[in-house]
Amino acid sequence: MTYRPKHHLTAPQGRLNDPNGLTLVGDQLHVFYQHDPSFPLQPKRTGWGHAVTTLGSGEWRHFPMALYPDHPYDLNGCYSGSAVLDGDSLRLFYTGNLKRDGQRLTSQNIVDVHDIAGPMGGTYRRRVNNPVIDGAPEGFTAHFRDPHVSRSADGTWRMAIGAQRTNHTGAVVLYTSADLDQWELAGALEFSGLNYNTASAYMWECPNLLRMKDQATGEELEVFVFCPQYPDSDECGYVVGTLDGTRFNVRTDFTPLDYGHQFYAPQLLPHGAGALALGWMGLPARDDTPSLAEEGWVHSLTLVRELVLIDGYLRTSLAIPKQPDMLVATHELAGAPWSAELVDVDGAVGAELAWQPQVGGRGVITLTVDGIARWAECAAGQLVLCADGAAVECTAGGGEVAFSAAVFSPGAAQWGELRVR
């Protein structure tokens, strides 16, 4: 018996966190991730792990670490970033973290990747002119990280970087480029119509800025996914709107991307009518889990998710493997209250689900783990639950809402059923 899931990506050992650099080559999805293989036995030195899956298979193959913090500008960590496949050229963008004389120094750097489909998962060469962006612009602290690169409406490239202003409020700073090599500061995005609570977070990290077509209206809109941080919580969600220069006109205010107990730092990759996405099923500085103590690893990523934009909101579906080796359960939520328990093969309860219908064909779905409840309002319709080792995910309301949670069964027993009460 093991806590390790079969279809959710985990590190072979040590600590995993943010997914990075999603790259799709044919049907092969390459996923990089923040990885500290010596955690917790040695001081933190985070690099980029690397694994690949064939879409639909749910099986992962690991490669050697792609990046390790061993250059003068990243000695204290190769932090999060993204990837761009432009023709046959693959580039990684990441934040170098350096601590010197008690000060944090951050930089944005480029890595050229060759032969990613090869038997060792590619070769990785940092640019000799790194850093391409050295430090933060005036008005921002050294909490300046997680570059996400995408195309703008006019075809030029843009880099969104999570930031903190010197007044300790969160921001995202935009750079632009014609060739992916030389980057010019455009400025901080200014949001019109964003709620005060989100705007006042002390840091915005792990940004994703991409264009998506609304499948209901046909309109091309900007979707900005990010993680606002607060003194007592770390959140993850998105806004939808239009971008005029550096002015973001918000139409859909901040909405959680996942309502569960453990979900953070997702990365999105444009695909088909929407995007593929994976999130980290963990939270910052919360690593005390049975899997670490008993098996030497901590945290997983979500299943691959498929996101589409409908009427200004993202809808989520779980990419369940064609031959799943995990518990998959469904239920049609309707006009009557419903509740169920996730139980293991020994009958122990790991989580509870409850549905309370309201007027207008909608209701409230609640997921409770270890006595802590998370809830969201959504439409009636199909609920889908996947329980895979310590990784539990569900969607409801036709993908209106999603939940992720790390759930540890007693003795790492396998999950048996979703038992209706």
- Between CA 148 and CA 141 the distance in angstroms is 19
- Between CA 386 and CA 404 the distance in angstroms is 10
* Full residue range of the structural domain in which residue 335 is found: 327-420
Question: Is residue 138 situated within a structural domain?
Answer: yes
Helix/strand/coil percentages in the chain, nearest 5: 5, 60, 35
> What pLDDT is recorded for position 102?
87
- Between CA 16 and CA 31 the distance in angstroms is 12
pLDDT at residue 151 greater than cutoff 90: yes
> What pLDDT is recorded for position 421?
87
Domain edge (last residue) among 270, 291, 312? 291
Mean pLDDT to the nearest integer, 176-191? 97
> What pLDDT is recorded for position 285?
82
b/e burial code for range 217-231 (CB count within 10 A of at least 16 → b): eeeebbbbbbbbbee
> What are 282-329's pLDDT values in tens digits?
998 889 999 999 999 999 999 999 999 999 999 999 999 999 999 999
Same domain, 279 and 342: no
pLDDT at residue 166 greater than cutoff 80: yes
> What are 65-115's pLDDT values in tens digits?
999 999 999 999 999 999 999 988 999 999 999 999 889 999 999 999 999
- Between CA 404 and CA 303 the distance in angstroms is 10
Using CA of residue 377, residue 378, residue 380, residue 381, what is the dihedral sign? negative
Mean pLDDT to the nearest integer, 182-187? 98
- Active site (annotated) includes residue 325: no
Domain edge (last residue) among 291, 316, 341? 291
Mean pLDDT to the nearest integer, 191-216? 97
Same domain, 170 and 287: yes
Q: Average pLDDT, whole number, for the chain?
A: 97
Question: Is residue 155 situated within a structural domain?
Answer: yes
Using CA of residue 99, residue 82, residue 309, residue 368, what is the dihedral sign? negative
Total structural domains in the chain? Answer: 2
> What are 353-392's pLDDT values in tens digits?
999 999 999 999 999 999 999 999 999 999 999 999 999 9
Same domain, 259 and 399: no
Q: Residue 212: pLDDT band by 50, 70, 90 thresholds?
A: very high
Question: Is residue 198 situated within a structural domain?
Answer: yes
Question: Is residue 304 situated within a structural domain?
Answer: no
CB atoms within 10 A of CB 140: 17
Domain CATH for 224: 2.115.10.20
